[in-house]
Amino acid sequence: MRQATQAIHAAAPERRPGEPLTPSLVAATSFHTNPDAVGFSAADLGAEAPLFYTRWGNPTVALLEQRLAALEGGEAGLAFASGMAAASGLMLHRLGAGGHLVISDVCYAGVAEFARETLCRFGVLVTAVDMSDLGAVAAAMRPETRLVHAETPANPILRLADIAALAEIAHRGGAELSVDSTMATPVATRPLELGADWVAHSLTKYACGHGDALGGAVIGRADAVAALRREALIHVGGAISPFAAWLILRGLETLPARMALHQHNAGEVARYLQAHPRLRRVYWPGLPSHPQHELARRQMRNFSGMVCFAADDDKALARQLAARLRVVTYAVSLGKTQSLLFHIPTDDILRSSFGLEGAQAAAYRAWTGEGTFRLSVGLEDPADILADLEQALR
Ligand SMILES: Cc1ncc(COP(=O)(O)O)c(C=O)c1O
């Protein structure tokens, strides 16, 4: 099956008369079992274990996991309650005291803060590097490095990382590579095919697409995902609700179609913003002016729907846009049908989330200026999005 077909049919139950055409929502937390079928410990969970308890596994969630694995070209998937549960579960599973994590110095704020604060508190050594600088990544590797974690495009500034090159550096150093591909989605990039060991998602975003369910996922090799399930899901406990899994399954059916439209609308918006006299530094991977456009063309089959830009009077402009926009909404999150805009002041995020100073802080500032406007271009008619931006920017 090709991807648009997989999004609708992969792992669907065998066709039988009377079988419903939509996934079944199994809201049960536990399932009939017998004394010989399964033990009470996560260690007893074999590949053939029957359904037992929903934190271990659930039919609706299993369909989501299998469909995601198909879309990513991976052997197995594991769904979590949120993107944060997925990323933190993976890191807790692969790292321990004395182990070393090399992480993108710009990535989703929650993941950056989790690495710098929580993992460090448990004795994990953390080095944050600019993943677009391959020399810096290679220099950061140590004998104890267990995991290299990249995000591409990176939230919020849309800087890219070369997955194939990072996989080579990580593997040469005896480490694994995980890639947060939330903004790219499997429609744009399949990190496992480029050599990554793990791909992580916030399913809350494009995968769900409608802004009505939280979810996360990790996809990788079957044996590795089984071990991840035991520790990061059964023990840490961030299991997704079957209803959220069901909503995300519905969203996934239209993911390839939505991504084509997100890309189209974002292209219209990016070109409009680039020509606007009040704005600076407009980034969208599909713009030839994006500093990594060549990499984007190599690594992304779809340039996604995220655009960011800056302005000289960014704080005043943020207030003006929040008050005036009518089609675009001033709100966090991304990847849903509605267009969303959010302003992230550079000083705040450098201090609170990333803890960057010196050359790394200067590189961030050189890319963004004093603040980043992150625009998730939705599926409204692009003429209405442009007209709304035009009146709000005036
Ligand atoms: C790239 C990325 N990864 C992870 C997350 C965390 O996902 P969630 O909000 O589903 O916990 C986000 C959320 O914004 C994100 O943008």
The share of the chain scoring above pLDDT 90, in percent, equals: 95
Section 85-91 average pLDDT: 98
Is 48's pLDDT higher than 80? no
Domain 3-253 has CATH 3.30.1600.10: no
Q: What is the dihedral of CA 341, 389, 263, 348, to 10 degrees?
A: -30
Fold designation for 255-393: Aspartate Aminotransferase, domain 1 (3.90.1150)
Of 327, 328, 357, nearest in space to 343 by CA: 328
Ligand 1 close to Cβ of residue 155 (< 6 A): yes
Ligand 1 close to Cβ of residue 198 (< 6 A): no
Looking at residue 137, the DSSP 8-state letter turns out to be H
Domain boundary assignment for the chain: 3-253, 255-393
pLDDT, tens only, 102-135: 999 999 999 999 999 999 999 999 999 999 999 9
Catalytic positions are 55, 108, 180, 205
Considering only CA atoms, which residue is closest to atom 2 of ligand 1? 108
155 CA closest ligand 1 atom index = 1
CA 182–ligand 1 middle distance (angstroms): 7
Ligand 1 close to Cβ of residue 83 (< 6 A): yes
215 CA closest ligand 1 atom index = 10
In Å, how far are 167, 288, 298, 391 from 294, measured between CA atoms?
19, 8, 6, 34
Considering only CA atoms, which residue is closest to atom 15 of ligand 1? 108
pLDDT of res. 35: 81
Q: Are 28 and 61 in contact (CB under 8 A)?
A: no
Question: What counts of helices (H) and strands (E) characterise the chain?
Answer: 16, 12
Mean per-residue pLDDT over the chain, rounded: 97
pLDDT, tens only, 136-156: 999 999 999 999 999 999 999
Burial class of residue 323 (count of CB atoms within 10 Å of its CB; 0-12, 13-18, 19+): exposed
Which residue of 113, 114, 155, 158 sits with most ligand 1 atoms within 8 Å of its CB, as the best mutation to test the pocket? 155
154 CA closest ligand 1 atom index = 1
In Å, how far are 109, 111, 128, 335, 344 from 202, measured between CA atoms?
13, 11, 21, 10, 20
Which residue of 103, 182, 189 sits with most ligand 1 atoms within 8 Å of its CB, as the best mutation to test the pocket? 182
Ligand 1 close to Cβ of residue 202 (< 6 A): yes
